[in-house]
Chain A
Amino acid sequence: MMTSSKAISLLRLLVVLIGASLMLGIYSTSFESFGTQLKEFFTTDFLAETGASNSVAAIYLNYRVYDTLFEALMLMVSVIEVINVSWYKERRAYSFVTPRIQLHQYSEIIIQMVSFVYPYVLLIGLYVMVNGHVSPGGGFQGGAILATALISRYLVNPNFDLKIDGFERTEKILFVFILLTPISYLFLQWPPVTAVLSDGAYMILMNTLIGLKVFSGLSIIFYRFVYYEAQE
């Protein structure tokens, strides 16, 4: 087993200590606070211009929508990487035993409570997702809550009979629509789309698309990882 020498461990400690004290010293003595021109530019009259009461939603869906598009792309890249690194053999489901018998080794309390609670979790997730432009929430948060509901299925029934082809196809189609909607509504201002959608409807549509895409992506990541870890 390689062990690091004393000099290198002392060097690491020195780097961290000198870096921390330098940052703290410079910050507390000679730091001027930021000006507020950017904040005033974004928060004066955002309700009339964008139709959203939540100024954070106005920023990431209208003023700076490029960041959201690239963030959706980043999620897709991590899904691609997880799929690529983890390969597994397809398991054929032998159904000689009924599934009820296999559940005896798992905790009965968790099974009953999860099956009672998960419709409410789905309801909360949909509520947070759709109401992103009026109250705290939005697409990313709602999508993550929906993914939590699907993960609880793994706690109850850890068999390998969930097909994730539907999720993969859904995610790709949703990404194309997420790209098309701001381009046609905000950048080009294409007349057929501008006549149909208003500002509020655009916000709700974008939040729903982002939420469903995040839900699909996180579910794919979780299930691929779990199936890959369980094989020998």
Chain B
Amino acid sequence: MIEKVLLVALVVLAIVVTQSNNLLRSLILLEVFSLLIALAYLLYQAPDVALAEVAIGLGLSTVLYLVGIKRIRVFHICYVFDETQAVRDAHIAEVEPTVVRPLELFLEKRENVEPHMAYSNKSLKDVIENDQPDLIVYQGAEKLYFIGNQDDQVYQDVLSSSGDIVDGSFQVEGISIEKVKNDDILQSY
């Protein structure tokens, strides 16, 4: 009875470890997987192998992974297009080399975070409430708007060096998320 439950739990854990988006969650679940499979080795009459798996897999492998991912944090960015048209590859390709690539380079090299880009054409309120990204890039008529939390250190760094990231043909302005949520100030832009 306990053997079947253990084997099913192993398969479920293996699926979650390889398909999850969160790096820290799959790391901790890999440690639990290693512990459960050591129990399975013990149930199948192999005590030497179970001892080796516990000593090596739990004591060493996990600490190595934890030291390796010390400096990776995920930063979610959402690029919001106009509501009127569907988002096509041509639109992404025309905005990518000027704004998106330098922003991603800056985040990876200077701030040591890992950026995840998303493109959408919903309204700004929808995006803020449903997706909750760390940074929103919105293209107005003449200016480019960076919208984020005021007390986020990475956002402040992005704002203060926005002159280096985007070349001179865009003017960048930063607005905090609270202002956009509370009143519809961007309807007039």
Residues of chain A touching chain B, judged by Cβ–Cβ distance below 8 Å, are 1, 54, 56, 128, 136-138, 140-141, 144-145, 147-148, 151, 218, 222, 225-226, 229
Contacts A151-B60, A222-B60, A222-B63 given; does A229 touch B51 at CB 8 Å: no
Chain B residues whose CB sits within 8 angstroms of the CB of A151 once the complex forms: 59-60, 63
Interface residues of B in 38-72 (CB under 8 A from A): 47-48, 51-52, 55-56, 59-60, 63-64, 67-68, 70
Q: Which residues of B contact A225 (CB under 8 A)?
A: 64, 67-68
B63 surroundings in chain A (CB, below 8 A):
151, 222
Query: Which residue of B47, B68, B117 contacts A229 across the interface (Cβ within 8 Å)?
Result: B68
Task: With CB as the reference atom, state the residue of chain A lying closest to B58.
Answer: A148
Chain A: CB-nearest residue to B89: A3
Q: How large is the interface on B (under 10, 10 to 19, 20 to 34, 35 or more residues)?
A: 10 to 19
B64 touches A141 (CB 8 A): no
Q: How many A-B residue pairs have CB under 8 A?
A: 42
Task: Check B47–A136 contact: CB distance below 8 A.
Answer: yes
With CB as the reference atom, state the residue of chain A lying closest to B50.
A136
Name the prevailing secondary structure of the A interface residues.
Answer: helix
B70 to chain A, nearest CB (A): 7
State whether B48 touches A222 (Cβ < 8 A).
no
Are A148 and B55 interface neighbours, CB within 8 A?
yes
Bound form: Cα–Cα A137–B54 in Å: 12
Among the listed A137, A148, A222, which residue makes an inter-chain contact with B51, where contact means beta carbons less than 8 Å apart? A137
Contact of B52 among A141, A148, A222, A226 (CB under 8 A): A141
B47 proximity list for chain A (CB < 8 A): 136
A144 touches B48 (CB 8 A): no
Given A229-B67, A229-B68, A229-B70, also A140-B52 (CB < 8 A): yes
**In the assembled complex, which residues on chain B have CB atoms less than 8 Å from the CB atom of A148?**
55, 59-60
Beta-carbon contact of B48 and A141 below 8 Å:
yes
- Give residues of chain B (71-112) contacting chain A, Cβ–Cβ below 8 Å: none
Inter-chain CA distance A226–B52, complex, in Å, is 23
Task: Give complex CA distance A147, B51 in Å.
Answer: 14
Q: List 6 A-B contacts (CB under 8 A).
A: A54-B48, A141-B52, A144-B52, A151-B63, A218-B60, A226-B67
What residue in chain B is nearest A143 (Cβ atoms)? B55
A225-B67, A226-B67, A229-B70 are known contacts. Are A145 and B59 too (CB-CB below 8 A)? yes
Closest A residue by C-beta to B56: A144
